Structure 1
């Protein structure tokens, strides 16, 4: 359902009329969305249309914004107390008999913190999802604590947030904000959002923006100085809270929420690598998290043991709900990586030319904790097939947040025994498969403009020469250099690139690796010996998967994983002659 198809009504309260839009089945739980500054309810259009498939969704224009009327006079008409009156009036009109699930962004979140912490709203809010807008009371206590105990870290945090809050000072100047918004700033704002926030063009912002922004300046003037000077001591949330923190928010520091647990005992934290206007840039992600949180709290209220919708593991707050695509996911490192992201609550696309293996990975990923998972059968060396995959993923699942180019094949044998056909097979999968993935999915990440991360599985063989692995080592060295080049190119777009370099890892690649220049019987014998050798080494692929997640979180460039990989990497940098000497040795197989 589109927001244009919503049913509208007007709710009168405190001398203003609020324009309220409703979507979805009114018999279902009500999700009430509160917009921020200088927005109108249309900022929620994409999120609301997704939520309307499951809930009764309500949006309203805050007083003085959109199609709602403004208080007269403006001064004193935007206090948190009056905004709370508005919320209660809307909630009573659209859901008189059941509490609502509240969602707020920016100033919509600031005022929603007031709603969820004052006594007169107890019993009217079933849950609250907050993004990019702190409680002014919590913010006031945060400032006072750091001023009373002025450590270097506290001072740095105060200065950092002070710099991010430059616009707040401007809003307190007389007349200037109104003139700017009704003049050049109001006309240029859509282009500013598209350029700075990479916000998609469309029906937002609405034509009322200059007037809305001029009215909304009183949100700052009526509330900020009063609350920061005298923050409430009883600002405790009386409903479960889900905090979604965009890590690239230019206006709010993540440190603002460091002590939030003391104010919100039932707190779930999420982080999202995105900028400030996430309702417009990441609607699929928000809708997924809101749906899970609302469903879990509805189940709890009904006395039903809810499915655990909060992902576990140390990376849950980073990857929960993100879309992760892993190639070569039917086994080995690829499967272990898919499972690791699934445990963190990600949505998984398991890709492999082995359809059965990919399906098993996707099924197990769901059981482990993936919000959703899908299996796709693709040969990564097939450019046209990869193009179709990229188009399907973007259309049906969304833009990939993390791409893991893991698919690869092994080939051993001397250079003179390696045929041109052998070279082509290895390079097609190990190098061209990575190129196709980076080009297609990297383009989608870049066009979205909200960052992302690409992980390419290279190998210790990328920097450790060997007389027995000329083709394999060359393909992996190319992957390593490609990763370094892309890291430099994509850095300005917020896209990280990491090359993972495992050593001897106990995976299925050893039993399927090809050996050039030998008979079929000899090849089978060498495969069994290699598999036995790697089995004796017994370095599990799960450790490589953990290194992959760490590499994304830390945005690491090159990650040697096993001890031998780290040792070879050290020698390649500080004692390359030693590596060259080792490369001349006859391999044991």
Structure 2
């Protein structure tokens, strides 16, 4: 454990629970908080309360303070904290159990002990101890965000916060002004917004009921909560929440009782942020409407907005994405660089900004164009190709096109073990892929009787088995994560029409179409979309596809745009060029005509 700093803010008496051991350990010795690897713990006294604080990473680096919400404890940040403190980000990460939660003690009496003013005292005591004289970067989720809004808008904390990232927790003062604006200047849309948020906030009134919430949390609701989280938030029912959860939830009801009514009735008129703010809004939050933040620019001069296709529990369900955005935002503040995500780089930015996208066949014309299209939308891109140098070139172009991060991986997708190894590496280093685009393929023409068995194997190994390997490896990770995703498989118009000279290639493409349709049905219940894109030519590894499409105004960039639109709309089968669309229609309504054309020796392009 590191030596103490801010000695006057650290309690010298006997700390509660396991923090006692951490406080008397020799310098340099780490303790391990449940779910947080290599975290050093200490106890900090603030008034009558003792706070259990955990630290990870290099104290010489910028300090990031992670504040948990209700009814959580600091362990909710386990994976985010570990990632932020790792060599990739390298921050000094601080977490603490809010008063009354986890290993921190509760105030006595509980009534009046959870006001935002006292929570501000706690925060100042912690940062005085862990980062004396230095501003910290603050990240808050749920009630951790609600209290953080207080810190970032009150004068006595000004200068101590370098940046603030808000997750699923509005400022109570801003919320009150939002309600008043809709009551004093009502329109049908504003009334609908007000009624919608009122329905989402049903639990606030329930938590004001005397004694009942405490009885439920310490009884049946507390016992069933892990299963509820697994079903609603789609997060694994593992070692979280911790054993202290029933008491944490019971104590935390006073966060609502001590603050909500007071601030809604008497909001501060000067709740302006004195630090840059990054707002990350989950699009599927069952408790908070996205409309709550419509007027936020008037309160936050330096605001970066981002949306994430997730539910309320983002710290556990999307730690990889949050880590990337938090680290990127903090780095921009530290370096004085333009804020990432502050401007919309393209029409798809709100949907794909910061998402992790993996594209196979990234050295081909369409694969490269797809990488650049996702990069222009602000996605993180992994360019995969058998040609290592070409994949690296695509990744470099993606970074220049706007990707906050782009990596290259040299893998033969026909090799099942190599694809599985890549999937494990990607998950460990970058997170679970949000969008998988399978574009790697080989082209082959020739009569069936002239095509060798080895040639058939080469086509099927890449065009079909490569898609199967990727869908199994990365689609399986999407399913395990439980937060959805999207798979795009590229095929061809050859999937719809027979040809005397494309038996091997056409068979592989038809198989990809049927595989994609079957996967779409199977994975729909897991919120994983599957699309198959069918351009109108037999593509090869060189630049010939670009030359073929250019005269008809269908360059690879238009195919890439069709891929992004397919993900956005969750389209099933997308023929791209006019000949592909015609072939798709004729295969259903006039298959005889297509068979007749095949006998004439026409080749689909």
TM range (shorter): 0.7 to 0.9
Question: More deviation in 345-354 or 6-15?
Answer: 6-15
Q: Report the alpha carbon displacement of residue 572 of structure 1 after superposing the two structures with TM.
A: 4.8
Q: Report the alpha carbon displacement of residue 326 of structure 1 after superposing the two structures with TM.
A: 0.9
- Residues 306, 252 of structure 1: alpha-carbon distance in 2 compared, 3 angstrom cutoff: closer
- State which of 289, 311, 315 in structure 1 corresponds to 2:325: 289
Q: 1:425 and 2:458 equivalent?
A: yes
Residues 496-511 of structure 1 mapped to structure 2, 5 A cutoff: 496-504=529-537, 508-509=540-541
CA distance in 2 between partners of 1:570 and 1:259 (Å): 48
- State which of 325, 337, 341 in structure 1 corresponds to 2:358: 325
Q: 1:407 and 2:440 equivalent?
A: yes
CA distance in 1 between partners of 2:234 and 2:300 (Å): 32
Residues 99-178 of structure 1 mapped to structure 2, 5 A cutoff: 99-178=135-214
Q: 1:231 and 2:264 equivalent?
A: no
Q: 2:386 is matched with which residue?
A: 353
CA distance in 2 between partners of 1:313 and 1:306 (Å): 17
The aligned length equals: 567
Question: More deviation in 233-242 or 373-382?
Answer: 373-382
Q: 1:263 and 2:299 equivalent?
A: yes
Asked if structure 1 preserves the Cα contact closer than 8 Å seen for 2:51 and 2:97, the reply is yes
TM-score normalised per structure 2: 0.86
- State which of 69, 74, 83 in structure 2 corresponds to 1:50: 83
- State which of 64, 88, 91 in structure 1 corresponds to 2:127: 91
Q: 1:385 is matched with which residue?
A: 418
Asked if structure 2 preserves the Cα contact closer than 8 Å seen for 1:269 and 1:317, the reply is no
- State which of 223, 229, 232 in structure 2 corresponds to 1:196: 232
SS of the residue corresponding to residue 349 of structure 1 reads strand
Q: 1:544 and 2:569 equivalent?
A: no
RMSD: 2.8
SS of the residue corresponding to residue 57 of structure 1 reads strand
- Residues 111, 355 of structure 1: alpha-carbon distance in 2 compared, 3 angstrom cutoff: same
- Residues 308, 273 of structure 1: alpha-carbon distance in 2 compared, 3 angstrom cutoff: closer
Q: 1:554 is matched with which residue?
A: 569
Asked if structure 2 preserves the Cα contact closer than 8 Å seen for 1:458 and 1:479, the reply is yes
Q: Report the alpha carbon displacement of residue 454 of structure 1 after superposing the two structures with TM.
A: 0.7
Q: 1:518 is matched with which residue?
A: none
- Residues 453, 226 of structure 1: alpha-carbon distance in 2 compared, 3 angstrom cutoff: same
Cα deviation digits, residues 30-77 of structure 1 (max 9, x gap): 211111001111212222222224222221211111122222222222
TM-score normalised per structure 1: 0.88
Question: More deviation in 111-120 or 366-375?
Answer: 366-375
SS of the residue corresponding to residue 359 of structure 2 reads strand
Asked if structure 2 preserves the Cα contact closer than 8 Å seen for 1:463 and 1:568, the reply is yes
Q: 2:18 is matched with which residue?
A: none
Residues 195-214 of structure 1 mapped to structure 2, 5 A cutoff: 195-200=231-236, 202-214=238-250
Q: 1:367 and 2:400 equivalent?
A: yes
Q: Which runs of 5+ in 1 are unaligned?
A: 513-529
CA distance in 2 between partners of 1:153 and 1:579 (Å): 52
Q: 1:471 and 2:507 equivalent?
A: no
SS of the residue corresponding to residue 412 of structure 1 reads coil
Q: 1:249 and 2:264 equivalent?
A: no
Cα deviation digits, residues 331-369 of structure 1 (max 9, x gap): 211111112222333332221222221222223323333
CA distance in 2 between partners of 1:153 and 1:496 (Å): 31
- Residues 348, 428 of structure 1: alpha-carbon distance in 2 compared, 3 angstrom cutoff: same
- Residues 52, 383 of structure 1: alpha-carbon distance in 2 compared, 3 angstrom cutoff: closer
Cα deviation digits, residues 187-242 of structure 1 (max 9, x gap): 22223323432334554322111111001011112222333344333222221111
Q: 1:37 is matched with which residue?
A: 70
- Residues 532, 203 of structure 1: alpha-carbon distance in 2 compared, 3 angstrom cutoff: closer
Asked if structure 1 preserves the Cα contact closer than 8 Å seen for 2:329 and 2:339, the reply is no
Q: Report the alpha carbon displacement of residue 462 of structure 1 after superposing the two structures with TM.
A: 2.6
Q: 1:342 is matched with which residue?
A: 375
SS of the residue corresponding to residue 411 of structure 1 reads coil
Q: 1:8 and 2:41 equivalent?
A: yes
Question: More deviation in 109-118 or 82-91?
Answer: 82-91
Asked if structure 1 preserves the Cα contact closer than 8 Å seen for 2:321 and 2:431, the reply is no
CA distance in 2 between partners of 1:480 and 1:144 (Å): 53
- Residues 52, 382 of structure 1: alpha-carbon distance in 2 compared, 3 angstrom cutoff: closer
CA distance in 2 between partners of 1:473 and 1:258 (Å): 51
Q: Report the alpha carbon displacement of residue 575 of structure 1 after superposing the two structures with TM.
A: 5.9
CA distance in 2 between partners of 1:317 and 1:249 (Å): 16
- State which of 486, 495, 498 in structure 2 corresponds to 1:453: 486
Q: Report the alpha carbon displacement of residue 78 of structure 1 after superposing the two structures with TM.
A: 1.6
Asked if structure 1 preserves the Cα contact closer than 8 Å seen for 2:333 and 2:339, the reply is no
CA distance in 2 between partners of 1:156 and 1:477 (Å): 48
Cα deviation digits, residues 508-546 of structure 1 (max 9, x gap): 54778xxxxxxxxxxxxxxxxx88644533522122222
Cα deviation digits, residues 395-449 of structure 1 (max 9, x gap): 3333222111111122334455545444433222222211111112111111111
Asked if structure 1 preserves the Cα contact closer than 8 Å seen for 2:280 and 2:308, the reply is yes
CA distance in 1 between partners of 2:593 and 2:176 (Å): 60
CA distance in 1 between partners of 2:565 and 2:274 (Å): 35
Asked if structure 2 preserves the Cα contact closer than 8 Å seen for 1:270 and 1:318, the reply is no
SS of the residue corresponding to residue 192 of structure 1 reads helix
- Residues 92, 392 of structure 1: alpha-carbon distance in 2 compared, 3 angstrom cutoff: closer
CA distance in 2 between partners of 1:64 and 1:475 (Å): 61
- Residues 511, 320 of structure 1: alpha-carbon distance in 2 compared, 3 angstrom cutoff: closer
CA distance in 2 between partners of 1:299 and 1:532 (Å): 43
- Residues 17, 365 of structure 1: alpha-carbon distance in 2 compared, 3 angstrom cutoff: same
CA distance in 1 between partners of 2:548 and 2:45 (Å): 77
Question: More deviation in 307-316 or 328-337?
Answer: 307-316
CA distance in 2 between partners of 1:198 and 1:74 (Å): 33
Q: 2:13 is matched with which residue?
A: none
- State which of 32, 48, 60 in structure 2 corresponds to 1:27: 60
Q: Report the alpha carbon displacement of residue 280 of structure 1 after superposing the two structures with TM.
A: 2.0
CA distance in 2 between partners of 1:433 and 1:483 (Å): 13
Asked if structure 2 preserves the Cα contact closer than 8 Å seen for 1:346 and 1:370, the reply is yes
CA distance in 1 between partners of 2:186 and 2:596 (Å): 57
